[in-house]
């Protein structure tokens, strides 16, 4: 006991010392920054606020660009992908510019640099912080070898609408899962030492509400009431900032009428004051001057004034700051202290990256591009991310002797399997499923049948049907090409494009079991074909190692381990669709649901007894948030709460037993949701609060425990304050958001 006390005293003292040391270091840095700023001309200050780009394909560095660096007119670069240019530009900045302030080089390193991991929505499906962290770490190791020390990731936009192309880049629909991932990404990109030359500063983006674009149309308006903004959309940003994300990118959209890039309340009050952010804010590409098209800024000069005063530190690509700061200062519309404040924020991060001491790319750091351990990690991530949605008669896994017809446009599409935002990933390094089947000498025949996912031609169906007839099982690799999701690539109809449904129906007619493997950037509506296939495996865009990962899953060497990070709709007409919705005054139910075809012709107008649902699509999704099968089954029992009455100072311990009831080892993600039954602002029907991955051998039983603190029950109500309200709560512990054992407790 005495030793334990002594030990904790020692730890506390150590933490105290570290804090004091950090404060002293911070103070020292701030003094250095003050000194630098005092020596800077106005032009040099404006220069620090500029993020300039070259194209990755630039053949020769333009002389003017070099001169701008020499004159201190550039603070940072994006997309300089020739290492010689990185070195040359940095040498000019450090040795030839008046104050020698180093540049920082940035890039969209989103889910891998050369070795590509699954798209972020896939990584979210892993429900595994370690997988997200690993993907970020490998990305940073590889990317930093090219001099990239700042990545425009993680993207933390909560997305409730699968039509939105950028859902592919998002952490999904849930603020808690997104927050767990946010922290993991930041830790992976940065390690605990931003000064490490293999660390990349992360950038939490897009601030804010970008994923709430009306109708899923990219760049569209977001209307988010403030409690929702705080309870849902801001959550992952809070987590990223708490984990040390030093930069934030504003979003293209307006939120409640004010574009994010000119929103002083958001950037100064919420982000800096409330969330204690002390890094710098970068605009999105031209988002400052896009405020003109929004109808918020009259012209470029006005746009600059709004963004500068809002607290947007660095302008990406557009030049409104360059062109207008001087006049704005002269006219008194912007104060020089504000410019100094923005410059200070940027220099602070350059110090944290240790660029003043070590500005140059470490030439001995090769990045281990495509190193076997990187590829192994990418493969493991693809396995963790794959979600098994249906598996009738245990069609998967296949026995080694099964004769397989491998069919479809995504079976051998090395570029497409990498997904969106993979500028640096090279398709020559992709291992496709076809390659994996070939390497493993599996018993199969291959017919592509469609040249790409949008191909409408049914000319090659005959060969596919023949191959199916001569095989035991058909495995169709279908989905979307990479370009059909991502920025500016929203779709109104999210069925399989082209003639893929027809292809599936044609091979299914043979009567052979059909396994559908989907590679896509979003949930794909499969209502038209679900009855034609025995198995559906969602692989997202799995990255470089798609082939070996899927091969192992198909033949049972690994089991698919992903769970849905978004609700999967039956039809895009249901969107937006998300599990943590409100009950309404007329909650939908099986009893009250009326099928369109059951309404008598000529029926009189009626509404009594009816509830919130669609006559044609009902009220349930195709697959709920959190859903995913494995190759074994689990049963939960014995849900226990440590108390049924809780004071606000207490913690609730929740335990549940889980048994592997199948006949092989497997992993389950046990999920804990709460429902606050009555609130001063109505509360969602469920909210995810905890989850745990557990591994169980065949027949094994384990106890899983969770702690819920009062803080977890807080929410922001319409006083805009976080409140903790007494009353009854339901707790659900289950395998997805629409299942689970239930218990109740009261918060006193």
Dist CA 141 CA 124 (whole Å): 21
Nearer CB in complex with ligand NOJ: 128/284:
284
Tokens of 537: 């495996």
To ligand NOJ, the closest distance from the beta carbon of 166 in angstroms equals 8
Nearer CB in complex with ligand NOJ: 313/687:
313
To ligand NOJ, the closest distance from the beta carbon of 104 in angstroms equals 14
Nearer CB in complex with ligand NOJ: 316/507:
316
Nearer CB in complex with ligand NOJ: 167/515:
167
Dist CA 341 CA 298 (whole Å): 25
Which one, of 378, 379, 397, lies nearest residue 388 by Cα? 397
Dist CA 177 CA 236 (whole Å): 8
Q: Report CA 612 to chain centroid distance, whole Å.
A: 30
CB 652 within 8 A of CB 712: no
Tokens of 456: 């409408």
What does 455-514 look like in DSSP terms, one character per residue? ----TTHHHHHHHHHTSSEEEEEEE--GGGSSTT---S--BPPTTHHHHHHHHHTTT--E
CB 519 within 8 A of CB 498: no
Nearer CB in complex with ligand NOJ: 142/412:
142
The CA dihedral of 428, 430, 435, 439, to the nearest 10 degrees, is 100
Nearer CB in complex with ligand NOJ: 53/227:
53
Q: Which residues make Cβ contacts (< 8 Å) with residue 380, sequence separation at least 6?
A: 131, 134, 549
> Cis omega (within 30 of 0) on the bond before 707?
no
Nearer CB in complex with ligand NOJ: 205/563:
205
For residue 585, what is the DSSP state?
S
Nearer CB in complex with ligand NOJ: 123/526:
123
To ligand NOJ, the closest distance from the beta carbon of 284 in angstroms equals 5
Q: Which residues make Cβ contacts (< 8 Å) with residue 675, sequence separation at least 6?
A: 683, 684, 685, 686, 687, 729, 730, 732
**Torsion-angle region of residue 702: left (phi > 0), alpha (psi -120 to 50) or beta?**
beta
Q: Out of 284, 286, 322, 412, pick the active-site residue.
A: 284
To ligand NOJ, the closest distance from the beta carbon of 120 in angstroms equals 12
Tokens of 403: 């004769």
CB 659 within 8 A of CB 696: yes
To ligand NOJ, the closest distance from the beta carbon of 307 in angstroms equals 16
- At 315, give phi and psi (nearest 5°): -100, 120
Nearer CB in complex with ligand NOJ: 207/673:
207
To ligand NOJ, the closest distance from the beta carbon of 260 in angstroms equals 11
To ligand NOJ, the closest distance from the beta carbon of 208 in angstroms equals 13
**Cβ–Cβ contacts within 10 Å for residue 442, how many?**
18
The CA dihedral of 509, 511, 515, 521, to the nearest 10 degrees, is 10
Dist CA 384 CA 382 (whole Å): 5
To ligand NOJ, the closest distance from the beta carbon of 190 in angstroms equals 17
Instruction: Please identify which residue in the block is written with the tokens 């590829």.
Output: 375
To ligand NOJ, the closest distance from the beta carbon of 493 in angstroms equals 24
Q: Which residues make Cβ contacts (< 8 Å) with residue 699, sequence separation at least 6?
A: 659, 660
To ligand NOJ, the closest distance from the beta carbon of 734 in angstroms equals 35
Nearer CB in complex with ligand NOJ: 188/621:
188
665 three-state secondary structure: coil
CB 190 within 8 A of CB 201: yes
Nearer CB in complex with ligand NOJ: 346/564:
346
CA distances from 632 to 388, 476, 548 (A): 12, 23, 21
Dist CA 543 CA 565 (whole Å): 18
| Contact footprint for ligand NOJ (CB under 6 A) | 108, 152, 205, 284-285, 487
Dist CA 642 CA 644 (whole Å): 7
Residue 196 catalytic?
no
- At 296, give phi and psi (nearest 5°): -110, -30
- H helices of 163-259, in order, are 175-190, 226-228, 235-242
To ligand NOJ, the closest distance from the beta carbon of 211 in angstroms equals 12
Nearest residue to ligand NOJ on Cβ basis: 152
- What residues act catalytically? 284
């Amino acid at each position: 006991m005495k030793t334990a006390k002594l030990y904790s005293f020692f730890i506390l003292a150590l933490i105290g010392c570290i804090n004091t040391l950090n404060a002293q270091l911070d103070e020292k840095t701030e003094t250095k920054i003050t000194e630098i700023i005092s020596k800077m001309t106005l032009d040099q200050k404006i220069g620090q606020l500029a993020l300039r780009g070259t194209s990755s394909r630039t053949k020769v560095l333009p002389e003017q660009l070099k001169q701008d660096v020499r004159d201190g007119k550039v603070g940072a670069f994006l997309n300089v992908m020739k290492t010689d240019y990185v070195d040359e530009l940095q040498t000019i900045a450090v040795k030839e510019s008046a104050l020698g302030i180093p540049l920082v080089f940035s890039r969209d390193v989103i889910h891998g640099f050369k070795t590509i991991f699954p798209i972020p929505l896939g990584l979210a499906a892993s429900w595994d912080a370690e997988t997200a962290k690993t993907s970020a770490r490998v990305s940073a190791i590889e990317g930093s070898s090219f001099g990239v020390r700042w990545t425009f990731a993680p993207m933390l936009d909560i997305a409730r609408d699968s039509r939105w192309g950028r859902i592919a880049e998002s952490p999904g629909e849930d603020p808690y899962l997104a927050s767990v991932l946010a922290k993991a990404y930041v830790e992976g990109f940065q390690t605990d030492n931003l000064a490490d030359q293999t660390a990349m500063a992360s950038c939490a983006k897009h601030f804010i509400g970008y994923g709430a674009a009306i109708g899923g149309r990219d760049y569209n308006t977001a209307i988010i009431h403030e409690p929702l903004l705080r309870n849902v959309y801001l959550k992952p940003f809070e987590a990223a900032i708490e984990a040390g994300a030093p930069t934030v990118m504003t979003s293209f959209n307006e939120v409640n009428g004010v574009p994010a890039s000119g929103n002083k309340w958001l950037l100064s009050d919420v982000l800096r004051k409330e969330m204690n952010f002390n890094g710098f804010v970068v605009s999105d590409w031209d988002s400052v001057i896009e405020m003109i098209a929004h109808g918020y800024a009259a012209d470029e000069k006005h746009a600059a004034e709004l963004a500068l005063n809002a607290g947007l530190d660095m302008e990406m690509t557009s030049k409104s700051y360059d062109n207008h700061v001087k006049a704005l200062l002269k006219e008194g519309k912007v104060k020089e202290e504000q410019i100094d404040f923005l410059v200070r924020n940027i220099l602070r991060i350059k110090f944290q990256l240790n660029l003043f001491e070590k500005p140059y790319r470490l030439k001995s750091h090769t990045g281990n591009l495509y190193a076997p351990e990187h590829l192994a990690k990418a493969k493991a991530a693809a396995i963790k991310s794959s979600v098994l949605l249906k598996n009738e008669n245990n069609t998967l896994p296949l026995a080694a002797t099964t004769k397989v017809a491998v069919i479809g446009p995504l079976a051998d599409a090395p570029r497409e399997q990498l997904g969106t935002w993979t500028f640096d990933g090279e398709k020559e390094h992709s291992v496709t499923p076809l390659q994996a089947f070939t390497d493993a000498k599996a018993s199969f025949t291959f017919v592509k049948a469609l040249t790409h996912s949008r191909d409408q031609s049914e000319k090659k169906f005959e060969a596919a049907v023949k191959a199916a007839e001569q095989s035991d099982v058909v495995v169709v690799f279908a989905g979307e090409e990479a370009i059909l999701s991502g920025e500016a690539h929203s779709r109104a109809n999210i069925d399989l494009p082209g003639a893929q449904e027809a292809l599936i129906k044609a091979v299914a007619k043979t009567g052979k079991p059909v396994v559908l493997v989907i590679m896509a950037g979003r949930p794909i509506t499969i209502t038209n074909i679900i009855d034609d296939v025995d198995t559906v495996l969602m692989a997202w865009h799995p990255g470089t190692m798609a082939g070996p990962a899927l091969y192992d899953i198909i033949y049972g060497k690994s089991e698919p381990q992903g769970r849905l990070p978004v609700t999967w709709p039956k039809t895009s007409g249901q969107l937006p669709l998300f599990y943590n919705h409100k009950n309404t005054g007329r909650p939908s139910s099986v009893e009250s649901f009326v099928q369109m075809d059951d309404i008598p012709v000529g029926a009189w107008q009626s509404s009594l007894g009816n509830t919130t649902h669609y006559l044609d699509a009902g009220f349930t999704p195709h697959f709920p948030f959190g859903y995913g099968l494995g190759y074994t089954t689990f049963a939960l029992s014995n849900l226990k709460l440590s108390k049924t009455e809780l004071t606000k100072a207490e913690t609730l311990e929740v335990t549940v037993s889980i048994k592997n009831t199948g006949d092989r080892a497997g992993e389950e993600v046990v999920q804990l949701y709460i429902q606050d039954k009555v609130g001063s602002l109505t509360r969602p029907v469920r909210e995810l609060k905890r989850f745990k991955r557990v591994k169980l051998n065949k027949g094994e039983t384990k106890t899983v425990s969770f702690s819920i603190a009062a803080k977890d029950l807080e929410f922001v109500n319409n006083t805009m304050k976080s409140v903790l309200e007494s009353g009854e709560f339901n707790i659900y512990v289950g395998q997805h958001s629409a299942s689970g054992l239930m218990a109740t407790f009261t918060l006193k």
